[in-house]
Amino acid sequence: MNEIKLFCPATIANLSCGFDVLGLCLATAGDEMIIRKSNIKGVRITKIVGANLPMETENNVSGVAALAMLEEVETEFGFEIEIYKNIKAGSGIGSSAASSAGAVFGINELLGRPFTRKELVKFAMQGEKLASGNAHADNVAPCLLGGFTLVRSSNPLDIIKIDSPSELFATVVHPQIELKTSDARSVLKQTVSLKSAITQWGNVGGLVAGLYTNDYELIGRSLHDEIIEPIRSMLIPGFDLIKKTAYENGALGSGISGSGPSIFALSKGNETAEKIAKAMSKVYDEINLPYEIHVSKVNPEGVSIIK
C-alpha cells in the first residue's frame, strides 16, 4: 500500500459536565486526507483544499503530529499529506484534531500498524499543542478511537473508550462567528466552589453510568455544567435560546461543543435529532446569522479508511 484516503471525523469535546475529560466522535461531519509514501524522507504537506492553513510541515498540525510519530519509528521513506478540509477552524468541533489524528492514523496504516489507535493519541496531541498551546486529548482521543472517550488523566495519559448507546444522535450547530480557543479559555475562573465541583463530578459519574447501561434518561439528567457553561456561553450568540429550543424539541441535553461557538444537543433517535436541527436553524435564520448544522449518529469507529 503506497497511498491511503481517509475520513477524519469531527468531534464534540467536553459534553457539559465532562469539561476537559469527555468527548465523542461524529459520523457525518469531517475532513478527508490522502497520505502517500514518498521517496523523499520526512513529511511534506503537498495540498490543502478548503482552508487557508500553513503548508510548512512544522507549522501545520498534521505535519507536527506526523513528525512526533516518526521520531519513534524507523522508516525508509517519507510521506506526503493532502488535506481536504470541511471542518472549519475555530468551530469547536475538533478541526485541528481531525487533521492531527488523520495524519498519524494514515502513516501508521502505511507502516503496517506499528502502533495501536490508543498509542497514536499522544502523537496527535502534539498537533493540538501547536494549534492551542496545550497538548490536550479531548478531541484527538474520540477522533482516533470513536464512540465516547474519557481522558481520565492527561499525565500520565489514560484514555478509556466507552461505546455509545446505539440510538444516541448528536445535533451540532456552528454559528459562523469567530471565537478563539484562547479567548474561550481566558474567561474561565481558575477556582470553583466545592459545591459546584461535587455537582459536576456526580454528573460525570452519572453520564458514564448512563452510557454503560444505555440509560438515555440518565444521560440526559447528567448533561449539565454549572461551572464552565454559565460563563463561556455568554460569548456565543443566542446560546440560551438555542439550548432552550433543543430541549423543547426533545433533546436529552444540550451545551457548548468544545470551547464553542458550536452548540450540541444529544437525543435518542435520528428523528428527534433532525427535528432539533430544524428548530435550531430557525433560531439563527430569524436573526440572519450564518451557520452550519450537522446531524450524526455517534461514530463508533473513529477515523476510517475510504480507500
Binding letters toward a second copy, positions 6-25, x by CB under 8 A: -----------xxxxxx---
- In the set 11, 32, 128, 245, the catalytic residue is 128
Which of residues 158 and 178 has its CB atom nearest to a second copy in the complex? 158
Residue span binding a second copy (CB under 8 A) among the ranges 96-104, 169-177, 199-207, 262-270:
199-207
Residue 186 sits in the site that holds a second copy (CB under 8 A): no
Length of the chain: 307
Tell me the closest approach of the beta carbon of residue 155 to a second copy, in angstroms: 10
Which of residues 30 and 260 has its CB atom nearest to a second copy in the complex? 260
Helix H or strand E segment including 159: strand 157-162
Question: CB under 8 Å to 200, separation ≥6 — which residues?
Answer: 17, 19, 192, 225, 226, 227
Residue 223, beta-bridge partner list: none
Which of residues 21 and 283 has its CB atom nearest to a second copy in the complex? 21
Residue 222 sits in the site that holds a second copy (CB under 8 A): yes
Which of residues 109 and 226 has its CB atom nearest to a second copy in the complex? 226
Which set of grid coordinates corresponds to residue 137? 486529548
Tell me the closest approach of the beta carbon of residue 19 to a second copy, in angstroms: 6
Q: Count the alpha carbons within 13 Å of 161 in the hemisphere toward its beta carbon.
A: 19
Binding letters toward a second copy, positions 225-244, x by CB under 8 A: --x-----------------
Residue 255 sits in the site that holds a second copy (CB under 8 A): no
128 in active site:
yes
Which of residues 51 and 160 has its CB atom nearest to a second copy in the complex? 160
Q: How far apart are CA 90 and CA 102, in angstroms?
A: 18
**CB–CB of 30/3 below 8 Å?**
no
3 in active site:
no
Among 50, 54, 202, 230, binds a second copy (CB under 8 A): 202
> What Å distances lie between residue 141 and 7, 32, 42, 148, 277, CA to CA?
15, 18, 25, 9, 26
Among 38, 57, 86, 199, binds a second copy (CB under 8 A): 199
Nearest to 23 by CA among 123, 154, 115: 154
- Start-to-end C-alpha separation, the chain: 11
Bridging pattern class, strands 78-84 and 304-305: unpaired
Q: How far apart are CA 256 and CA 238, in angstroms?
A: 12
**Interacting residues with a second copy (CB under 8 A):** 17-22, 150-153, 158, 160, 162, 188-195, 197-209, 212-213, 218, 221-222, 227
Active-site residue list = 128, 181
